[in-house]
Amino acid sequence: MSAILEVKNLTVRYERHVAVENVSFSIEEGDYAAIIGENGSGKSTLVKSLVGLIPPFAGEIVMHGMEKREIGYLPQSTIVQKDFPASVTEVVLTGCLGNERRIGPFYTKKQKKTAEENMELLGITPFAKKSFRALSGGQQQRVLLARALCATKKLLILDEPASVLDPVVTHDLYTVLHKLNRERGITVLMVSHDIHCALEQAKTILHMGRSLLFCGTADAYYDTELYHRMTGSCGEHFANHGHMGHAALEHHHAEHQNGDNQTERGESTCM
Amino acid sequence: MHVTELFAQLGVLFSYVFIKRALVVGILVSLCAALLGINLVLRRFSMIGDGLSHVGFGALALAAVLGFSPLAAAIPIVIFAAFFMLWLNEKGHMQGDAAIAILSSSALAIGVLITACSGGMNTDLNSYMFGSILAISREDMILSIAVSAVVLILYAVCYHPLFSITFDENFAAATGTKASLYNMILSLLTALTVVTGMRLMGTLLISPLIIFPALTAMRVCKSYRGVVICSMITSVVCFILGLILSFLFSLPTGATIVVVNLLCFGLFSLYGAIVK
């Protein structure tokens, strides 16, 4: 396994406000990583910087074996999309725009085929002609996920994909992500505000608090102060899954806080 | 009115050269406005179309005083204003919409002042404000055809990227679509459309031509392509209907076209509500 994404000493600023400070880590190919943290901890800013929407103030982001535009990105849903008249097929096809430069009002056969395959994969073919605005929240997320899959074969980056979904639909979405990760070998990096779901799903946890406060396996995270603080529990170990983290994580910033826990478990090597 | 009489009247109508010119320019502008309106309305940029027409008025007033050809002088000024408004809008934190409102009303006020200082409100300026089908010269028509052709061709070429950034600018930008480039193209095309439509519809009545067809089509269409086709058709139909009605009943053309658009919007809304 080799790193697909490397972040070195990344600092991102909004105007004069530092949103992400000196963050370093790398994500291994095939990993399933979750970025957690409180509101305003820089999770979304970090992700926006990774996909190229906000330029880094300092540090660098290195992709291995792919370009930045080949990331399958699922942004937070916007107010514009609520009443947007577009068919499911039209939305999914926009995912193909990045991978084949073409001018004019028609898509190529290859692009149409990619879109059809991904719609089939996510079980949204029956809604292909339906209007995006008429779908339920869960169906809409599947459509946006299909669009993201048209843009990538390797790396999905999701920004709070479950924030608008009810628990049952959230579970469905996570099942789909798990399948994509395991069966298709797609690396998943997901921002989540739901710490329990994140720990249940992900192999690797990144805890943001402007800087990176923790990076390591989900198992290792259960033993940290951060975990107890976030959940308000008194140190019970809920770990019920034994998978090891695949990511080799570098972490320079907060070793004084939780350095012990990071290197003990899994393959994580936080420095 | 008998049917035969009506046809005779229409025969007279379409025999006039100025009506033929108005028809050519009007249909082209209606098509351009309908297309751009979709992206502007969906992106919550409707204010830009309205603001640009006011800037256009100021530009026309200035051109009239300085003795330049009105359209040729207005085009660069309005394009510049369009880029400026786009920039204001992207700087969301400094109340972009308020800034656009200030800019557009100031341009209108300055236009009125320039006119007043140079000898009062003449009929020419009145026609700029409320439009006139008599105002379109042969040169205007040729310029309008050229500009509309540019708008329609560029829109067709950029159809998918424009859809993509309208639906989800962040995703489009992340997957390699140059969002800022397409935003500029959208502004440029809007500026060109506003200027071409100004003579016919008047600076005060051009923005409904941009906004109405898109809103009307969205009441009933489910897909983006459906909205595109439907808004082009309703736009042209409402224009021709408005032109004919204004001739038959001696009404101001621009205002009649806007009211026909309003009625069309009402009908489509009703249909949309019933079908739902």
- For residues B91 and B21, the model is more confident at B21
pLDDT band, very low/low/confident/very high, at A269 (cuts 50, 70, 90): very low
State whether residue A100 is helix, strand or coil.
coil
State yes or no: pLDDT of B139 exceeds 90.
no
Q: What is the pLDDT of residue A262?
A: 39
A37 within some domain? yes
Closest residue to A86, CB basis, from B167, B171, B217 = B167
Whats the size of chain A, residue-wise? 271
Whats the size of chain B, residue-wise? 276
Domain positions in chain B = 3-275
pLDDT band, very low/low/confident/very high, at B122 (cuts 50, 70, 90): low
In this complex, is the C-beta atom of A52 within 8 Å of any C-beta atom belonging to chain B? yes
Q: Which residues of A touch B157 (CB under 8 A)?
A: 103-105
What residues of chain A, 124 to 163, have a C-beta less than 8 Å from chain B? 129-131, 134, 144, 147-148, 151
Q: What is the enclosing helix (H) or strand (E) of B102? A: helix B96-117
Residue B18: partners with Cβ closer than 8 Å, 6 or more residues away: B133, B134, B136
Residue B23: partners with Cβ closer than 8 Å, 6 or more residues away: B14, B240, B243
Question: Are the Cβ atoms of A75 and B174 closer than 8 angstroms?
Answer: yes
Q: What is the enclosing helix (H) or strand (E) of A152? A: none
Question: Are the Cβ atoms of A78 and B177 closer than 8 angstroms?
Answer: no
What residues of chain B, 26 to 45, have a C-beta less than 8 Å from chain A? 42-44
- The nearest CA of chain B is from the CA of A198 a distance in Å of 23
Q: Which residues of B touch A80 (CB under 8 A)?
A: 42-44, 166-168
> Which chain B residue has the Cα nearest residue A50?
B174
pLDDT band, very low/low/confident/very high, at A101 (cuts 50, 70, 90): low
Name the residue range of residue A207's domain.
1-70+199-271
Q: Which residues of B touch A129 (CB under 8 A)?
A: 222-223
Q: What is the pLDDT of residue B93?
A: 54
Q: What is the pLDDT of residue A98?
A: 79
State both tokens at A217. Answer: 């396996």
Q: What is the pLDDT of residue A246?
A: 39
State yes or no: pLDDT of B123 exceeds 70.
no
Could you report the per-residue pLDDT of A130-143, keeping only the tens digit for each?
A: 999 999 888 999 99
Q: What is the pLDDT of residue B116?
A: 80
A255 within some domain? yes
Closest residue to B175, CB basis, from A103, A104, A151 = A151
- The nearest CA of chain A is from the CA of B5 a distance in Å of 43
Residue of B187, B185, B133, B155 lying closest to B18 (CA atoms): B133
The total domain count for chain A is 1
Q: Give the mean model confidence (pLDDT) for residues B167-175.
A: 91
B3-275: CATH topology: ABC transporter involved in vitamin B12 uptake, BtuC (1.10.3470)
pLDDT band, very low/low/confident/very high, at A91 (cuts 50, 70, 90): very high
Question: Are the Cβ atoms of A107 and B225 closer than 8 angstroms?
Answer: no
A119 within some domain? no
Please give the Cα distance from B141 to B138 (Å, whole number). Answer: 5
- What secondary structure, in 3-state letters, does B149-217 show? HHHHHHHHHCHHHHHHHHHCHHHHHHCCCCHHHHHHHHHHHHHHHHHHHHHHHCCCCHHHHHHHHHHHH
**What is the average pLDDT value for chain A, to the nearest integer?**
80
Question: Are the Cβ atoms of A95 and B175 closer than 8 angstroms?
Answer: yes
What residues of chain B, 193 to 232, have a C-beta less than 8 Å from chain A? 217-218, 221-227
Closest residue to B224, CB basis, from A69, A75, A86 = A86
Q: What is the pLDDT of residue B239?
A: 95
Amino acid present at A160 = E
Closest residue to A87, CB basis, from B43, B172, B222 = B222
* Interface contacts (A, B; CB < 8 Å): 98
Question: Are the Cβ atoms of B177 and A75 closer than 8 angstroms?
Answer: no
As for the ipTM of the complex, it is: 0.85
> Which chain B residue has the Cα nearest residue A81?
B167
A16 within some domain? yes
Q: What is the CATH number of the domain that holds A35?
A: 3.40.50
